[in-house]
């Protein structure tokens, strides 16, 4: 959305900005999962953060992880109920039909939004506020991932199954093949810690495997893979990404061994920042940029 009539409402609803390193230091997630998310978000894979409770930290986690977007990415924040998708060249091909009160879908802006660079962000997938995205607009957003656009969004869901149910049923109406475009799906929860303070935690991370075809042209539909999970709020995350690392490597155009090494090195970068109390968002973003500058030809950090 180029002109945002809800800019002031959006700013008022946004939580305080926190860095991914601050979230690691607070135990929201660990450096290993953050290192993997760095790789996936940098490759512009879709990112969905679900959480049922108000204040669970959905938007905070989403925005912190979007700091991993490469400098070449062009972030476009959707305009909620006022969104017209006039800037999205493929909108009508994705099923978007403009309504009379919104006006017809017009030409793309002078600087086009392209699948190779565009990252489309919805503040939330719901109908709770006019700044949020729902119905046909949410369906168009997720379908855009099938063309190569990056997608980032939050929604009220406590499990991956609830994410699917919300997007499959009702006015969004995605089918199972379209739900395979979701990419990295994180689930966050909040509870009261031993001293009564709110404790926010990523309790599960999933990878939605996109529909593909084998060498014989047969459609392949694989269930989502669990990347990490937490058995209790005070428990450490258990990691299972090793099971799909070869698939992720193929999707990112890498070798599995190189991808695993790169994840470990990026996790180490984030751990060092946390150990040295480099927590503010601006300093962390700068550290991420410096790490990219020093990345080798195969993506390894030196």
Q: Is residue 300 part of a domain?
A: no
Q: Is residue 118 part of a domain?
A: yes
Q: Is residue 234 part of a domain?
A: yes
Here the tokens at position 91 are 């909108």
Instruction: Count each helix (H run) and each strand (E run) in the chain, helices first.
Output: 10, 10
Query: Are β-strands 184-192 and 47-50 bridged in parallel, bridged antiparallel, or unpaired?
Result: parallel
pLDDT score, position 301: 47
Q: Is residue 32 part of a domain?
A: yes
Strand segments, DSSP code E, in the chain are 47-50, 74-77, 118-122, 150-155, 184-192, 198-207, 212-213, 219-220, 225-229, 238-239
* Residue in 180, 176, 155, 146 with CA at minimum distance from that of residue 53: 155
- Model confidence over 4-21: pLDDT tens digits? 555 555 555 567 789 999
Q: Is residue 114 part of a domain?
A: yes
Prediction pTM value: 0.90
- Number of Cβ within 10 Å of residue 85's Cβ equals 26
Cβ-contact 224, 186 below 8 angstroms: no
Quote the domain boundaries for residue 234: 7-293
Q: Is residue 299 part of a domain?
A: no
Q: Is residue 1 part of a domain?
A: no
Mean pLDDT of the chain: 89
Cβ-contact 189, 53 below 8 angstroms: yes
Q: At how many degrees (to 10) do helices 256-275 and 245-252 cross?
A: 100
Q: What is the rounded CA–CA span in Å between residue 81 and residue 79? A: 6
Q: Is residue 249 part of a domain?
A: yes
- Model confidence over 28-82: pLDDT tens digits? 999 999 999 999 999 999 999 999 988 889 999 999 999 999 999 999 999 999 9
Q: For residue 276, give the CATH number of its domain.
A: 3.40.50.300
Total of domains in the chain = 1
If phi > 0 it is left, if psi is from -120 to 50 it is alpha, else beta; for residue 183 that is: left
- Model confidence over 250-288: pLDDT tens digits? 999 999 999 999 999 999 999 999 999 999 999 999 999
Q: What is the rounded CA–CA span in Å between residue 41 and residue 70? A: 8
> Is the predicted pLDDT of residue 1 greater than 60, yes or no?
no
């Amino acid at each position: 959305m180029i002109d945002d009539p809800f800019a002031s409402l959006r700013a008022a609803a946004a939580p305080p900005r926190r860095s991914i390193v601050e979230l690691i230091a607070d135990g929201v997630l660990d450096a290993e999962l953050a290192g993997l998310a760095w790789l996936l978000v940098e490759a512009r894979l879709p990112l969905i953060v679900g959480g049922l409770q108000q204040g669970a930290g959905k938007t905070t986690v989403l925005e912190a992880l979007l700091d991993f977007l490469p400098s070449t990415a062009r972030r476009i924040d959707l305009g909620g109920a006022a969104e017209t998708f006039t800037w999205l060249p493929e909108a009508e091909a994705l099923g978007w039909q403009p309504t009379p009160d919104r006006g017809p879908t017009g030409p793309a802006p002078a600087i086009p939004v392209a699948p190779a660079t565009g990252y489309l962000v919805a503040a939330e997938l719901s109908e709770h506020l006019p700044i949020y995205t729902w119905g046909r607009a949410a369906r168009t957003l997720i379908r855009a991932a099938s063309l190569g656009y990056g997608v980032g969004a939050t929604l009220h869901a406590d499990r991956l199954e609830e994410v699917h149910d919300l997007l499959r049923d009702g006015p969004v109406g995605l089918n199972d093949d379209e739900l395979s475009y979701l990419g990295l799906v994180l689930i966050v929860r909040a509870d009261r810690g031993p001293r009564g303070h709110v404790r926010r935690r990523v309790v599960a991370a999933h990878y939605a495997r996109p529909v593909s075809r084998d060498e014989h042209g047969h459609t392949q539909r694989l269930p989502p893979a669990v990347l990490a999970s937490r058995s209790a709020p005070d428990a450490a995350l258990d990691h299972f990404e090793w099971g799909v690392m070869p698939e992720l490597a193929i999707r990112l155009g890498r070798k599995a061994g190189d991808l695993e090494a790169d994840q470990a090195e990026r996790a180490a970068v984030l751990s060092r920042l946390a150990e040295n109390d480099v927590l503010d968002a601006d300093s962390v973003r700068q550290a991420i940029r410096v790490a990219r500058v020093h990345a080798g030809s195969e993506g390894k950090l030196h």
